[in-house]
Structures are given as C-alpha cells and as structure tokens.
Structure 1
Amino acid sequence: MKALRFHAAKDLRIENIDQPPAPGPGQVVIRNRYVGICGTDLHEYVSGPIFVPTDAHPFTGATSPQVLGHEFGGEVIAIGEGVSKVAIGDRVSVQPLIMPRNDEHFADRGLFNLSGSLALVGLSWISGGMSEMALLNDYNVEKIPDSMSDEEAALVEPTAVCVYACDRAGITAGDSVLVTGAGPIGMLALLCARAFGATKLFVSDLNETRLELARKIVPGVITINPKQDNVGDVVRAHSQDGVGCDIALECVGNEHALQSCLDAVRKQGVIVQTGLHPGKGSLDFFQLTFKDAEIRGSWCYPTHSWPRTIDLISSGAVPASRVVTKKITLDQAVKDGFDALLDPAGSELKILIDLKA
C-alpha cells in the first residue's frame, strides 16, 4: 500500500509498504479516509527526529522509518478477537495515544495521556494516518455518528487538544479569552472557547493573512498584530474596567507570546500553556506573583474525552471544518502540504490529505 514515511529531517518519502497484518486480539484495521497535517508533523519534517524514535520505542517497539499522521479517521475493515465496541463497516475517528492500560502509575488512575510509556499512532507505532490502512488497538477508535463527515473525523484530534485546554482554563459563560497564535490550534481554541460560553474573544498573531482568516472563521473576534499594537493594551481597552481578560490560551510555544498572555490577563487570571516551547524561555515572575495569576500546562487530552469532542463537532457547537483551507492527495503531501504550511507567506491553515483521491 502507499504511505508517506519519515526517514530523517527534510526526508519524507511516498513509498509502497506492506499492508497491516491481520488484527490480533483487541485490535482493528481501518481503511484511512482523511488525515490532517499537524504542527508536530511539521516539526518532525524540519528538525526531526523529535518524537519519532531512533531506537525501538520501549513500549511499542516502533522505530524509523515511520508512517506519519495522527489526526485521522476511516472505516473499519477487520477486527480481532474480543473487539465489541466497533464492527466492520463502522466509520471511526482515531484517538492516537497508545500506552499501558494498567500496572502503571498514571494508567491505573485513568490518566493515560500522562503515561511515561506513551506512544502515538503516526509517530511511534506500526501505523499512521498518512497511508491507505492502519492497524490500531480497539481503544484507539471511536465510532462517529452519521451526522459527522469523514473530514470532521480527522479534526477530532486537534479539537480534543483545544477542548482540554479550555477545561484546564475553566472557561465558563461570560468569560473573556485571549488566544495567542492564529494557527489551526489557535483557531480551534477560539471556537471551543466560544462553545464553552466565552463572550469576548481576542487572538494575536504576526501573520495578517491568518488574522483575516480568524475574522472569517470566528466572527466578532478582536484581532491583534503584536508588530503593530501591544497585546495587553488592546485587551485591557476592551475589558470591563480595563482589568484584562479572564483567560489566556498560549497556542504558539513562544516566550514572547507567553509574556503577552501574562500581561493581558487580569489579576487572578489563568494562563494555559498549550503550545510546546522549543527551549526553556523566560517569564516575568514578579508580574505573575503580583497578579496572583496561574499558569497551567495542557498536555494532549484525556482519552475519555473523545466521545464528547465528537459530539461537540457533530452537533455544530464547534464548527471545526471551518479551519480547513485545502484538501490534497497523498502524492501531493510534501510539496503542496508540508512545504505549503511552512511557507511564511503562505495562506494555508489546515490541510487535509484525502487518502481515497
């Protein structure tokens, strides 16, 4: 079957590889439909291997070359012994976290995303979404309703990241929320914050094209370009009594953006760090203490959030498909997908690969 595999930085290859083996007990095979190109995939392409193991992964045994893609869905075409949650022919969304199910500190507490042995489909597993088929554990698939499209099934994973970030922030009705970064995660975070009840939304980004997209995707959002205006000043100017926003979601992984979040939130406000920082960075800890503010990390998502996220998308509460700007074929993935998303002057936001095209 055809697949896109990571070999090394700047070395992605479309190759013919073996089809997945027959599913064992508790496993399924799906025919992939759509897969999204994630920022994590882009980081692997530019600077990897990062999450792709160079030696055998201690839990899954996976190693490079690795089929990429962890934002995807498809149709179940084979099931192993003991599988009852899905049947052949079911359309599913893939929850890509793979980890011990018991006899491990965090797994025993249901905190699977915090497992020290964590692996991910499309980064450290036998299969990935950027191929025609994938072998998965039954806990990695969740049946989707008829009201959900195949494209939306591929958007559950990034949306789940944002749902969890909003949970970590404690967003509630009437809150004001700043999101730093108008990439796919930032856009989905805005849509999730609105679904959670936030009534005043701000987004900051250096890319004017993405700010224009934000105004179309999230009507009413207040956009800020830090090259032109101070983020905190704009937020305070639109806040009750000029105190700042209630919540800030940092979706870039940039220390300047994090400092903007701290500047913009009110006293006793909450900042949630969602983007992955490449280095240690710095922060004005005097301001953090003086404001009596909080900074919380947000890593992946609880695996039990998948049905909830599916409901949020399929009901229309989170119109996730708004972030999709282009669909391409697997043969076009590198030039028209990865390279297009890395172009600083590019206009693409979320690109989906159509595995049937």
Structure 2
Amino acid sequence: MTEATELTRTAAGDADTGAGTGAGTMKALRFHAAKDLRVEDVEKPGQPGPRQVLVRNRFVGICGTDLHEYSYGPIFIPKEPHPFTGAHGVQILGHEFGGVVEAVGEGVTNVAPGDRVSIQPLVMPRSGDYFSDRGLFHLSPDLALVGLSWVSGGMAEWALVNDYNVAPVPDTLSDEEAALVEPAAVSVYACDRGGVTAGSSVLVTGAGPIGALTLLAAKAAGATQLFVSDLNDTRLGFMREMLPEVVTLNPKRDNVGDAIRAATEGNVGCDVAIECVGNEHALKACLDAVRKQGVVVQTGLHPHDNPLDWFAVTFKDVDIRGSWAYPTHYWPRVIRMIASGLLPASKVVTKRIRLDTAVTEGFDALLDPAGTQLKILIALD
C-alpha cells in the first residue's frame, strides 16, 4: 500500500465515522440506490490531515453521470471498497463544484484558508503506476472521483479533498463559474483531442451541457463553422440563443451528413465531429459528416457495444479518438479561459436551486424528456 493510499483510506475512514472530530453535522445529498437520493444530516468532515483541504462548498452542478447513477446506479459508485480510496456504498454525490477553503492540513502550500477554489475531482495515486508516473493521472487504473468514489462530494455543505484537488480562482471568476470548470475541462479536452484550431468546421452531436460547452470550447479554439445535432428542438433552441451562428440540425427532419457537406468547403464535410451524447446513431452521424482524413472524437459514454461502419473508417482515412475526462493540469488553463470571457461557460446554466429540493427540482427536472433545462446548479450556502 502506497503512502498516498494509506492517507486516502485514513481520511475516508475518519470522515465517515467522525471519530474524534467533534465536527458537528452538515446537510448532504446522498445516493443510497437507484431512484433513492436523500438529503440527510451527516457528520461534517473533521480537521484535514496532512496534504488535505477542507472546503465550504458554494455551488455544485448536476452532471449527466449523476443522472445516470440516480436512474440506473450504482454504476461508478463502487459496490465493494474502491481499491485506492476504500469508498463504497452510500455516497455523497457531486463532482462539479467550487467553494472557499476553511482549513488546510500539514504540508499544504497551494492554498490557504479563505481562498476561493475550483475542485479538480480526480483522485488517484500520485506515483507508482505507469500513467501516474508520466503525469497522466486521469488514466490511472486506480482512478477515483470525488462525489462518486471518495468520502466527500460537492452536494454537501463541506467537502474534504486532497491538496491536488483544489485550484485557486481569481476574483474575475464567479462562484458559479468555479463549479463549471470541471465540465468545461471535459469539453476543452475533447476539442484538443480533435485538433480543433482556427478556421475549423466542427459538428457536435448532443445539445446537452457537455455538447453546449464543447461548442463554446470549439469557438474559443477558433472554429468558424459550428454545427450541432439533437432530437430535442427545445435544446436546439438553447444552442441558437447561446451561439446565434451555430447551425442546428434535428435528425428526425434533417440528414445531418448531407446538410454539413452542403455547407462546408468543397462539399466534403466537417473537419472534426465530436460525439457528446453516447448514442450509436449520433456516432454514425459523426462518421458520415466528417470529411476524409477528418477526426471523430468520442466523448459520450456508450452503455453497450456500438457497431460502426469500419469500411467507411478505412475508406475515408479518418481518425477516431476517445476523450476520457481531462488531464488534471488543465485546471489553470480552463479557469483563465472562463475568467477572460473566452469561454463563457455560464451561458449553459438554466436554473439555480437549493439542496433541499435538489431531487425534484434538479434531478427529476433534468430527466424530463421535454428537455426544458440544460445545466442546473445547486447553491450550498
């Protein structure tokens, strides 16, 4: 067992039992089982241990992963103790969040009490496996996630995290925007994986929060032609309000590939197609719409095997690339992009709610097939 593992497991055990902390209680939204989320009074984390930080949470976003856990879970929430963190069972949700540092443990040098921070929620060994030793922490086989496989989560009044999980934010970044850095990082990485650059033409399939942020990230990277496809006209309307120049397509009425070929230079298709919904028809549309030697990026998580036309992959000479989470060193870059206005992430927020009503006004609202909400933030103080 590595020193990092021992520290993580000790923190999880102390915070779960509240042994010797005298810390009092806090409100938290916890996953018990599919369709069973409860806002409960639980033990507040005690004083942080070495290289740990106690954060008073401000805002947390409801992610598609949280919705999947609520609907069908446990999926990423471990049924048996996580091999690195030891977390399992009842779990405080929330991995898109920010707040204010309340206390720091011994050896913490990157933040101090009173600092406003955004949480980078990936938890993993800092060394000792092939990927962590190379700084590719998001690919570690022992990866865990705050809010899914760690003692704390963002859907609570306080969270206990490691020092590498907190990034200070400037005064020009609002508390709400601090909670949007995580999904924005997913989208920036997807655009990086696709090689989006100045003048690119880009298709995004799926007009959910990640799809919307990917459109914004593509524009920030210099893309000059933007297309988005979705079956929900309400969400396509959100995309036009957010980016008036975007071309919206509904596969129920439009042939996505034909429409994009007709609009792009030489009628060859788009340079990059980014799949943000985890749907086999959307991935096939990406392959159809992208030009020869273009790039297809898979960002959405597919729930089952997806047959693809591999003759077309070969004949069109395309690249198909996965995009898993983000490198952890993206946080300062994405914070700068949002704070400068280059990536106006707050445009995707459609509703703000309180923790006490998060299940009905948040989770259930986002699962409504009408699609009247895009990104919902929970205010925690």
Question: 1:166-202: per-residue Cα shift (whole Å, max 9, x none)?
Answer: 1111111000000000000000000000000000000
Tell me, what secondary structure is at the counterpart of 1:246? strand
Tell me, what secondary structure is at the counterpart of 2:106? coil
Compute the displacement of 1:55 (Å). 1.1
Q: 1:9 aligns with which of 34, 57, 73?
A: 34
| RMSD, aligned CA | 0.5
Tell me, what secondary structure is at the counterpart of 1:17? strand
Counterparts of 2:80 and 2:46, CA distance in 1 = 22
Compute the displacement of 1:346 (Å). 3.3
Q: 1:282 aligns with which of 307, 315, 334?
A: 307
Aligned to 1:53: 78
- Runs of 5+ consecutive residues of structure 1 not aligned to the other structure: none
What count of residue pairs does the alignment treat as equivalent? 356
Aligned to 2:376: 351
Q: Which amino acid aligns with 2:186?
A: V
Aligned to 2:248: 223
Report 1:325-340 matches (<5 A).
325-340=350-365
Question: 1:220-240: per-residue Cα shift (whole Å, max 9, x none)?
Answer: 000000000110011011001
Counterparts of 1:105 and 1:289, CA distance in 2 = 31
Q: Which amino acid aligns with 1:102?
A: S
Q: 2:232 aligns with which of 207, 232, 239?
A: 207
Q: 1:152 aligns with which of 173, 177, 195?
A: 177
Aligned to 1:108: 133
TM-score normalised over the length of structure 2: 0.93
Tell me, what secondary structure is at the counterpart of 1:57? coil
Report 1:20-31 matches (<5 A).
20-31=45-56
Greater than 3 Å deviation, 4+ residue runs = none
Aligned to 1:272: 297
Counterparts of 2:169 and 2:122, CA distance in 1 = 18
Compute the displacement of 1:137 (Å). 0.2
Q: Which amino acid aligns with 2:288?
A: D
Q: 2:339 aligns with which of 293, 297, 314?
A: 314
Compute the displacement of 1:155 (Å). 0.2
Counterparts of 2:357 and 2:313, CA distance in 1 = 46
TM-score normalised over the length of structure 1: 0.99
Tell me, what secondary structure is at the counterpart of 2:43? coil
Q: Which amino acid aligns with 1:76?
A: V
Aligned to 1:81: 106
Aligned to 2:16: none
Counterparts of 2:305 and 2:328, CA distance in 1 = 28
Question: 1:248-300: per-residue Cα shift (whole Å, max 9, x none)?
Answer: 00001011000000000000000000000000111011111110011000000
Q: 1:198 aligns with which of 223, 227, 230?
A: 223
Counterparts of 2:244 and 2:115, CA distance in 1 = 35
Report 1:122-271 matches (<5 A).
122-271=147-296
Compute the displacement of 1:161 (Å). 0.2
- Runs of 5+ consecutive residues of structure 2 not aligned to the other structure: 1-25
Counterparts of 2:306 and 2:321, CA distance in 1 = 16
Contact 2:235 2:371 in 1 (8 A): no
Contact 2:232 2:371 in 1 (8 A): no
